[in-house]
Amino acid sequence: MNAIEVDGLTRRYGDLVAVDDVSFSVAEGEILGLLGPNGAGKSTLVNTLCTLLRPSEGTARVAGHDVVADPGGVRSSIGVVFQEPALDEELTGRENLRFHARLYGIRKQRRRERTATVLDLVDLADDADKPVGEYSGGMARRLELARGLLHEPAVLFLDEPTVGLDAGTRKTVREYVARLNREAGVTVVLTTHYMEEADALCDRVAIVDDGSVVALDAPDALKDGLGGDVIRLGTDGPAAVERAVGDAPWVRSVTRTGDGLDVGVDDGERRVAALVTAASEVAGVSTVSVDRPTLERVFLSLTGRTVEAADETGPGVAVAAETEADDD
């Protein structure tokens, strides 16, 4: 059974279509990332799956429960960590968890066991009796992850789990999410607008733009779809190098740059030595680097915009954003 099945889901706010006829499924144990700029519709999609919003059209099932016909079944099967922190800073970490466990109706003995288990999972056992007000941002996030797992949900929804954290803490929180997925066996759906987060953490990534899922695949498959790596060559004789290597069977494209050539190839790591050897025979080579396709470039090729440009302008003004991206 899939952990999540979404079929033709649409959610409107008045005339605005925030989620537009979206269909996909998530396998049990998978980490699915919803990647897109602010306003793309990620939170609306997640809130609909969490039963906080009703779909306007279409259906969705979470852990086998229909979000409209059986919202209670959905809620008891999911854990949710929202963008905005929702911890009581005056209570200790352990007290926050116990309080939440009571809300979920977990019995006293079980409450104690589960609290200890989830504190261990996020390595907060030693700090469990400090007030949350004294926690760092990363510790507070980890406590929220722990709280989301108290009632052993089948699916954990994380809305921008690392937003507002510094780069080092983002990495740590990501590692904990991967561990919860592995060790607690929970299916994870997370929204993010960080490319590296989607890339590093997710089994598959759904690229969300303007209410639609425009692509859904493993990060590597999405990147492979762009057509291979680019070897960036700094050279004083770009024309000679182009003549020397342009017709090689493994060269897909050659583009002049300010200080040399970008050579498109299938497997950059493997081809770089042959390219440098061939280029050095006809010109001086000053620098060489291999660029793997990135999710940023996948997003650009699918939407005509960078995530940053889309973030600044929001949906519905794609043409203006496209011009901005081109000017960069």
Ligand X SMILES: Nc1ncnc2c1ncn2[C@@H]1O[C@H](COP(=O)(O)OP(=O)(O)OP(=O)(O)O)[C@@H](O)[C@H]1O
Contact set with ligand X (CB under 6 A): 13, 16, 18, 36, 38-44, 315
Shortest gap between Cβ of 146 and ligand X (angstroms)?
24
- Give the nearer residue to ligand X in terms of CB position, either 39 or 238: 39
Shortest gap between Cβ of 42 and ligand X (angstroms)?
4
The CA distance from 270 to 196, in Å, is 24
Using DSSP, state whether 156 is helix, strand or coil.
strand
Shortest gap between Cβ of 141 and ligand X (angstroms)?
17
Shortest gap between Cβ of 13 and ligand X (angstroms)?
3
Shortest gap between Cβ of 193 and ligand X (angstroms)?
6
Residue type at 245?
V
- Give the nearer residue to ligand X in terms of CB position, either 18 or 272: 18
Specify the long-range contacts of residues 97-106, CB closer than 8 Å, at least 24 apart.
97/143, 97/146, 97/147, 97/150, 100/147, 100/150, 101/150, 101/151, 104/150, 104/151, 106/150, 106/151
The CA distance from 299 to 295, in Å, is 6
- Give the nearer residue to ligand X in terms of CB position, either 211 or 268: 211
Residue type at 218?
A
Using DSSP, state whether 226 is helix, strand or coil.
coil
Q: Which residue(s) pair with 6 in the sheet?
A: 24, 60
Backbone angles phi, psi at 210, to 5 degrees: 55, 45
- Give the nearer residue to ligand X in terms of CB position, either 34 or 101: 34
- Give the nearer residue to ligand X in terms of CB position, either 13 or 103: 13
- Per the structure block, which two tokens stand in for 195? 């490319």
- Give the nearer residue to ligand X in terms of CB position, either 164 or 284: 164
Shortest gap between Cβ of 36 and ligand X (angstroms)?
5
- Per the structure block, which two tokens stand in for 253? 């494209």
Shortest gap between Cβ of 128 and ligand X (angstroms)?
31
- Give the nearer residue to ligand X in terms of CB position, either 46 or 233: 46
Residues 6+ apart with CB under 8 A from 68: 54, 55, 59
Report DSSP state, residue 30.
Answer: -
